[in-house]
Amino acid sequence: MQDFTGVPAVVDFAALRDGMKKLGKDPSAVNPSIPVDLVIDHSVSVEFSGTNEALGQNMAAEFQKNNERYRFLDWAQKTLKNFRVIPPGNGICHQVNLEYLAPLVQNAENVLFPDTLFGTDSHTTMINGLGVLGWGVGGIEAEAASLGEAIAMRIPEVIGMRLTGILPAGSTATDLVLTITQKLRQKGVVGKFVEFFGPALEHLPVAHRATIANMAPEYGATCGFFPPDHLTMAYLKLTGRDEKHIALAEAYLKEQGLFREKDAQEPAFTDVIEFDIGEIAPCMAGPKNPSDNHILSEIPKTFEAAKNAERFAIPNGETIGHGDLVIAAITSCTNTSNPSVMIAAGLLARKARKLGLKPLSRIKTSLAPGSRAVSHYLDKSGLTEDLNSLGFEVVGYGCTTCIGNSGPLSPEITQAIEQNDLTVGAILSGNRNFEGRISPLTKINYIASPPLVIAYALAGSLNLDLTKEPLGKDPQGNNVFLSDIWPSLQEVDEYVAKYVTTSTFAGSYADAEKGTSLWQELEASEASPVFHWEESSTYIHNPPWVDTVDQPYQISSLKDARILAIFGDNVTTDHISPAGAIAPNSPAALYLEKRGIQPKDFNSYGSRRGNDEIMARGTFANIRIQNEILPGSEGGITRHYPQGDQVSIFDAAEKYKKENIPLVVIAGKNYGMGSSRDWAAKGPNLLGVKAIIAEDFERIHRSNLVGMGILPLTFPEYVTRKSLKLTGEEIVEIDLPEILTPRCQIPVRFHFKNGEQVKILTTARLETKSEITYFKQGGILPSVLKRLAAEIEK
């Protein structure tokens, strides 16, 4: 788990312990039944950069903003069994997992089995580079798995990608993964597994494999898997894993036929894609999607705003115009896990420094390593000093610019961009560059290797073709080209061999679980079996999921239900449960202001995921969501019937709740697409939504709805909200059969204002018997709690 998605999961564990106490059982019996690691890595923001003090300043700001959340996690690690917290300041969860946590083979009391992984983050897939099968899931599914529930899935198609050749000079692992991402996205591997094989694996290091595996969400696969082999064992030794365990793991994998041997027969796949990595050329992905890959010479042609060459003065004596860069960030688990590209960035910085090149001051530069091991080998090699000289000082160890934690630009730059409606850009060594994600001010965002991030920062513009135009001039006025400062493959390999050693990783993780002084100085949490909820807290709040677990739960048909909202196609989980800023005058903002919180301290919905009262108010509150009950409107508003008053969706839900009226939501195609946010299901539950009727559902969101006791129904073929001419004034009846079966037919009646009635047969999207059990008991959490209580009885 990372902390954005992990905190609400741990809140649920605390709530389950309360529920167990309510049932008269021992609350300390509620624990994860499998090992759970939570790495605090998503809460650091680049508030400060470009100075040696940036790291300390950003960490101080992080602790000031997140003190309540961190004290809560401190309670969890003191009281929950099978639960470990890696404190902030150590790195990004996926890189920490790769370098420190993952054992490859589990040894549970002398029973060996392959390590597998669920993660509450899309890029959990990175661990497949080590030969551990794993992928990202929603928080609700993760909680169920950690509490001993089996997770059902369809056996996937497995696409083989046969890799041949050798990475050419001048190209990097980043260029390799961006090209693979484009090719696999074009092939179409959504919902499938991809396994990499072929002769290139004989020399493709684990760091490169992890870079490729990391971006499985970007090429659309559930995971991109590399089988373990001799290079995997070498990586385990390099990163300081126990020698006896490494030998045991290798012997076990060979005995089981899971170890890749050079001359072994190649596996059979659903389909095979051939790919020669010798064809790779330096490239970048953008300006809006990680699968839109371009060789360097094409970059100026990939956006249109550069046609306007007008430039505008800014107070520091520089100018700014269309196509200019304002953010350059070496960040993300994708690339900072790979020593070859990080060393290459340092060597390029050294050569640029010697030639007197520096980025313009309008560019916000930052270096956010995915682990402290990166800083160790950059320090040992002397390359840290070169990076610092160009403004790439370490700003934090965590997920920063890639997740949108890029921090603010200076007021002068912000004003120039906004007043002149400039199309300016960011360049980052990340894995996602969707519009609006990196910064609200950068309309074009490109993913590149760490050395290219620095090169473009020196050039200052995306309008240049760096294959033939100069980056700048040396003190003598001579042009300096990219080829003049690009390190050779031999240089990089020599530095990696000399400075990236076992002692580097051992030293980096020696005190990983102890944490920094800021963590150690947190106000101590009481190690009590149940958490003592603070009524004044606006970050952590006791959710109601199991408040009535001691009372019989009975599902029933819906009578006199009202429609809370009608949505069109492609409503995403971002629309349903926003993770960004809390808008002024929104229900969540009013809630915080009532509790004395100033707007500057609102933080984000993402950071406040541990408070169900705020997340309920954020449900359907996206400023761009369109509710067809109010045609042409935007934002989380609806009508409350029968009067028809226009109010916020939250306020309407509260009124209906007081009137004891159940609610339904109507939607079009692809309902719940996007990130697998558990609050997109938890939020509607809190609003009183009992069923959602849509044309179809995104897979993970559908299962999350069932996990929260909400019934997902699909319209019959050729029937939609439009064909029924629904306006939101209708009264809805849903007749549940006495016996529910997977995908059974459910009658739904719409009572129109004019007295007309229409009956349709919807399909219940309950896919398995276990899902029917969850639904009948009000969701996964009440179901699991009752199971745990019954086990105590035995």
What is the rounded average pLDDT of the residues 264-278?
A: 96
Q: What is the pLDDT of residues 28-77, one digit of tens each?
A: 999 999 999 999 999 899 999 999 999 999 999 999 989 989 999 999 99
State how far the Cα of 139 lies from the Cα of 162, in Å rounded to an integer: 34
Q: What share of the chain has pLDDT > 90, as a percent?
A: 85
Residue 304: predicted pLDDT:
76
Q: Are the C-beta atoms of 206 and 129 separated by less than 8 Å?
A: yes
Q: What is the pLDDT of residues 303-314, one digit of tens each?
A: 875 456 789 999
Residue 698: predicted pLDDT:
86
Q: What is the pLDDT of residues 335-344, one digit of tens each?
A: 999 999 999 9
- Mean pLDDT is highest, among 343-347, 668-672, 786-790, for 343-347
Q: Under 8 Å CB-to-CB from 46, ≥6 apart: which residues?
A: 54, 58, 329, 364, 366, 368, 395, 396, 400, 401, 405, 406, 407
Residue 308: predicted pLDDT:
60
Residue 345: predicted pLDDT:
98
- H or E element at residue 493: helix 489-499
Domains of the chain: 1-86+516-532 (3.30.499.10), 89-281 (3.30.499.10), 285-506 (3.30.499.10), 558-577+619-777 (3.20.19.10), 578-618 (no CATH)
780-793 and 3-22 are packed helices; what angle lies between their axes, rounded to 10 degrees?
Answer: 50
Q: Are the C-beta atoms of 505 and 37 separated by less than 8 Å?
A: no
Q: What one-letter code names the amino acid at 690?
A: K
Q: What is the pLDDT of residues 573-616, one digit of tens each?
A: 889 987 777 888 999 999 999 999 999 888 888 889 999 999 99
Q: Which of 148-157, 219-228, 355-364, 754-763 shows the lowest mean pLDDT across its residues?
A: 148-157
pLDDT band at 153 (very low <50, low <70, confident <90, very high): confident
Cis peptide before 642 (omega within 30 of 0): yes
Residue 16: predicted pLDDT:
96
Residue 310: predicted pLDDT:
86
* Spatial strand order in the sheet of 271-276: 223-225, 193-197, 158-164, 271-276
3-state DSSP assignment of residue 58: helix
Residue 288: predicted pLDDT:
87
How far the first Cα of the chain sits from its last, in Å, is 32
Closest CA to 681 of 657, 697, 702: 702
φ, ψ for residue 400, nearest 5 deg: -115, -100
Q: Are the C-beta atoms of 299 and 307 separated by less than 8 Å?
A: no
699-707 and 679-687 are packed helices; what angle lies between their axes, rounded to 10 degrees?
Answer: 40
Longest alpha-carbon distance in the chain = 86
State how far the Cα of 332 lies from the Cα of 430, in Å rounded to an integer: 5
User: Which residues are 570's β-sheet partners?
Assistant: none
- Pairing between strand 442-447 and 472-473? unpaired
Residue 83: predicted pLDDT:
96
Residue 580: predicted pLDDT:
75
The better pLDDT of the pair 155, 459 is held by 459
State how far the Cα of 649 lies from the Cα of 728, in Å rounded to an integer: 13
Closest CA to 62 of 77, 76, 78, 42: 42
Q: What is the pLDDT of residues 708-739, one digit of tens each?
A: 999 999 999 999 999 999 999 999 999 999 99
Is the per-residue pLDDT at 564 higher than 90?
A: yes
Q: What is the pLDDT of residues 385-426, one digit of tens each?
A: 999 999 999 999 999 998 888 999 999 999 999 999 999 999
Is the per-residue pLDDT at 775 higher than 60?
A: yes
What is the rounded average pLDDT of the residues 140-144?
A: 88
Q: What is the pLDDT of residues 644-702, one digit of tens each?
A: 999 999 999 999 999 999 999 999 999 998 776 889 999 999 999 999 999 999 878 99
Q: What one-letter code names the amino acid at 657?
A: K
Of the CA atoms within 13 Å of residue 9, those in its CB half-sphere come to 29
Q: What is the pLDDT of residues 423-470, one digit of tens each?
A: 999 999 999 887 778 888 999 999 999 999 999 999 999 999 999 999
User: Which residues are 164's β-sheet partners?
Assistant: 276
φ, ψ for residue 686, nearest 5 deg: -65, -30
Q: What one-letter code names the amino acid at 247?
A: A
788 CB-contact burial (10 Å; exposed 0-12 / middle 13-18 / buried 19+) = buried
Residue 604: predicted pLDDT:
83
State how far the Cα of 706 lies from the Cα of 708, in Å rounded to an integer: 5
742 vs 140, 695, 783, CA distance in Å? 20, 18, 18
Q: What is the pLDDT of residues 2-21, one digit of tens each?
A: 988 889 999 999 999 999 99
Is the per-residue pLDDT at 216 higher than 70?
A: yes
pLDDT band at 523 (very low <50, low <70, confident <90, very high): confident
3-state DSSP assignment of residue 388: helix
Residue 48: predicted pLDDT:
96
Residue 307: predicted pLDDT:
53
Q: Under 8 Å CB-to-CB from 586, ≥6 apart: which residues?
A: 617, 618, 621, 636, 648
Is the per-residue pLDDT at 524 higher than 90?
A: no
Of the CA atoms within 13 Å of residue 486, those in its CB half-sphere come to 18
Residue 544: predicted pLDDT:
96
Q: Which of 94-103, 523-532, 561-570, 759-768 shows the lowest mean pLDDT across its residues?
A: 523-532
